[in-house]
């Protein structure tokens, strides 16, 4: 007796639907909103975004202002653009911190199972942190105005400074993304940020004019990218040379993005 054998024909799986750019942007906005609403569950982040920058402005203006510039008002005109730069650079580390937190908690693994664009989780994180930076910068400018800070180039200069700072911060955030992917714990991102950004900031002209520094340090201060960005913001917000510092800042931003964005994306793909 011969048994009839039925051969099952496997039905090929339907190819994955290609997501449109518009769909990817919607996913990015949704994930950015997710990151923003998490602030209410993390009061310390609100402290970093709001109170800490204001404290820097108040302390440096009224403690060091008279000694460095003769009066708190004159020092505020010099220091506020630099403090804005310092705050923005430290804020870029939150991108790597949040990214590493999502990676270690398995959030990225769960997102991969959803029909969303693969680039949306990272883009959403960066977009959310850009919004946070915009809020922090706006707060600093507002507090500065209350204390007597005067815009030398009006609204046009303010908008130009805003755009330049956010663009530079976006480029610098790729360093944070790379570190966030490579390290094992979120706290290590903060340690890295402190070890790199802190010395860069305090060996620039953010707080003290270059000619007030030791001669051996001045050569480095003049080529320090933090100095260049601070000078660009001073030119846009207060007045003074604009073209040179702005062009140099854009070159630095392009170089940072060109080097670290591919490295960060490649490292993220390997990890997830």
Instruction: Using only the alpha carbons of the chain, give its radius of gyration.
Output: 23
151 in a structural domain? yes
In a domain, residue 15? The reply is: no
Candidate from 25-29, 44-48, 201-205, 231-235 with smallest mean pLDDT: 44-48
> Is pLDDT above 90 for 69?
no
Query: What is the percent of the chain where pLDDT is above 70?
Result: 93
pLDDT range class, residue 6, cuts 50, 70, 90? very low
Say if 14 falls within a structural domain: no
* Distance from the first to the final alpha carbon of the chain: 54
CB neighbours of 211 closer than 8 A, spacing ≥ 6? 218
Contact 89, 172 (CB under 8 A): yes
- What domain range is 233 assigned to? 21-271
DSSP letter at 117 equals -
Report the pLDDT value the prediction gives residue 17, as an integer from 0 to 100: 52
Provide the whole-model pTM.
0.86
Q: Are 49 and 59 in contact (CB under 8 A)?
A: no
pLDDT at 209 over 80: yes
**Residues 44-63, mean pLDDT to the nearest whole number:** 83
Q: How many residues does the chain have?
A: 272
Does 12 fall in a domain? no
Q: Is residue 199 part of a domain?
A: yes
**Residue 217 covered by a domain:** yes
Total domain count, the chain: 1
Classify 188 in phi/psi space as left (phi over 0), alpha (psi -120 to 50) or beta. alpha
- 3 within domain boundaries: no
| 1 belongs to a structural domain | no
| Segment 122-150 mean pLDDT | 90
């Amino acid at each position: 007796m011969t048994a009839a054998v039925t051969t099952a024909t496997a039905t090929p799986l339907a190819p994955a639907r290609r997501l449109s750019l518009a769909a990817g942007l919607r996913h990015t906005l949704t994930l950015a909103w997710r990151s923003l609403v998490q602030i209410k569950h993390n009061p310390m982040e609100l402290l970093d975004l709001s109170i800490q920058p204001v404290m820097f402005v108040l302390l440096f203006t009224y403690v060091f202002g008279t000694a460095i510039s003769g009066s708190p008002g004159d020092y505020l005109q010099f220091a506020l653009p630099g403090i804005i730069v310092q705050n923005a650079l430290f804020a870029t580390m939150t991108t790597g911190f949040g990214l590493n937190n999502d990676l270690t908690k398995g959030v990225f693994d769960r997102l991969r199972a959803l029909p969303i664009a693969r680039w949306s989780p990272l883009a959403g994180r960066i977009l959310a942190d850009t919004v946070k930076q915009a809020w922090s910068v706006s707060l600093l400018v507002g507090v500065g105005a209350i204390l007597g800070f005067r815009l030398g180039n009006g609204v046009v200069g303010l908008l130009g400074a805003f755009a330049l700072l956010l663009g530079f911060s976006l480029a610098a955030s790729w360093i944070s993304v790379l570190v966030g992917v490579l390290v094992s714990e979120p706290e290590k991102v903060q340690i890295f940020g402190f070890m790199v950004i802190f010395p860069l900031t305090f060996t620039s002209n953010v707080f003290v004019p270059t000619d007030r520094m030791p001669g051996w340090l001045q050569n480095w201060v003049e080529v320090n990218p933090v100095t260049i960005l601070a000078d660009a913001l001073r030119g846009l917000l207060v007045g003074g040379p604009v073209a040179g510092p702005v062009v140099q800042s854009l070159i630095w931003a392009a170089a940072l993005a060109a080097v670290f964005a591919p490295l960060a994306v490649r490292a993220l793909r390997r990890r997830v």
